[in-house]
Amino acid sequence: MFHSVNVFTGETLYRRPAQDYAEFERQLADLKMRGRAFAQLGVTERAARLRRFAGRLEAEKERFAEMVCEEVGRCLHECRAEIGKSIELIRYYARLAPELLAHKTIATQASLSQVRFEPLGVVFAVMPWNYPVWQVLRFAVPAVCAGNACAVKPAPSVARVSQALFDLVSDGIPLAGAWLDEADTFKAIKDTDAMAFTGSTHTGRILAAHAGANLKKTVLELGGSNAFIVMPDADLERAAAEARYSRFRDAGQSCNAAKRIIVTEAAADRFIPLFLAECAKLKMGDPKHPDTTLAPLHREDLRNRVHGQVEDAVSNGAVCLAGGKVPQGPGWFYPATVLDRVNPACRVWHEEVFGPAALILRAANEEHAIALANDSPFGLGACIYTADTERAWRFAEKIQAGSVFINRHTSSDLRLPFGGVKDSGYGRELSEFGLYEFVNVKTYWQK
């Protein structure tokens, strides 16, 4: 059952059953025909239709932001930012796709040899709940630009906004919902041509194994436990403010957030009070209220998991400096929580914390800070705060992650590839590299 509720009030917003697989097969056959027709339009016309889609989404920006706010629970201003970035994404690819997908003539002994970028067919995607518009479009827009069709299985708890997004697409763009239960998801992977997945590492392993058994191309954007490294010479006030923003925005429910704050001992006693003062500024409340800066978590089980991780850490020697208590009242709120003295005996040392709890790891020196950053199964992103940027670049080369930011918290930029290594997955989204993930890079040779 796909079932959306207002996270703050508990009101049911939308319900629909999973579709029968025979119905999906009929839908898939239609989507394949639409995809072939769309691909034959050529990249210039495909881009023009996507620009019109961006215009329709822009006209509905406030309605979509409110739907995301109600169904996900994030602060309304954060949801507006998601829709705005999604519109920018569509226009970015519509502008660049004709150039990036142009045939490339290569000089060889042939009279003519080329590389062309041709679509794979139908890309099946399993998407998460935390950014229900951005995550779908982040994979789908470049895939569609390249001439693919996209069938998207949305997270069950954001069904209303997902359906609204599919309804808004129109204009012959082959992007449609796949309202499947878990068992039929495996059939869909087999019956389509490639797979994109954003979600937990556990689920990613299961889906990737099935896709691999059927030799389907996959891109996986999985969990993260990003290191936020504070060197002794850093601007500590700025670092504290950005650590608070990165860790607690979207109620801490972002794979790319700063989760492990690694502070050298030489800076710890100065940095930690500044960070705690920043955390104290956060205010829980109605996510639609402009004064709210810490929204509720998306579901009760997610709050229970975060609280269980916090209790486990404390029982294994970590010190809770702030938060750590489940509040009373409506909404699945959890306070801004800061755990100091986190050690390898704590579950959070190895697990992702998907909620508003920050971990402080103390490093003996700068080299130890880099070692701690790498002592994680995840490798999505990291950041380094220091006055010595030349040295920071040398440290950045040692970090096992898909991106490293210097004197800025981790984020995604349309112009740069996004993705990770290790348990954070493989493949890239965004930039030209994301555009090439779901194409057949095809060689042509003429004597």
- What is the set of active-site residues? 221, 255
DSSP H helical ranges for 375-427: 389-396
429-436, Cβ contacts within 8 angstroms, sequence gap of 24 or more: 429/138, 429/139, 429/142, 429/219, 429/221, 430/89, 430/138, 432/96, 432/100, 434/138, 434/139, 434/142, 435/93, 435/96, 435/97, 435/100, 435/101, 435/142, 435/145, 435/146, 436/100, 436/117
DSSP H helical ranges for 107-150: 134-145
Whether residue 379 contacts residue 419, with contact meaning beta carbons closer than 8 Å, is answered with no
Q: Write out the two tokens for 157.
A: 């708890």
Which residues, other chains included, contact 304 with Cβ-Cβ below 8 Å and sequence gap of 6+?
none
Q: Are strands 258-264 and 357-363 parallel, antiparallel or unpaired?
A: parallel
Amino acid identity, residue 75?
A: C
Q: Which residues, in sequence order, are bridge partners of residue 198?
A: 221
Whether residue 306 contacts residue 275, with contact meaning beta carbons closer than 8 Å, is answered with no
Q: Write out the two tokens for 72.
A: 């996900």
Which residues, other chains included, contact 435 with Cβ-Cβ below 8 Å and sequence gap of 6+?
93, 96, 97, 100, 101, 142, 145, 146
What does the CA dihedral 141, 205, 127, 376 come to, rounded to 10 degrees? -90
Cα distances (angstroms) measured from residue 6 to each of 66, 67, 72, 304, 307: 11, 9, 8, 19, 22
Whether residue 420 contacts residue 256, with contact meaning beta carbons closer than 8 Å, is answered with no
Amino acid identity, residue 326?
A: V
Q: What angle do CA 297, 302, 306 make, to 5 degrees?
A: 95
Burial degree of 34 (CB within 10 A; 0-12, 13-18, 19+):
middle
| HSE of 263, CA atoms in CB hemisphere, 13 A | 26
Q: Write out the two tokens for 307.
A: 């609280």
What does DSSP assign to residue 108?
S
Distance CA 351, CA 381 (A): 15
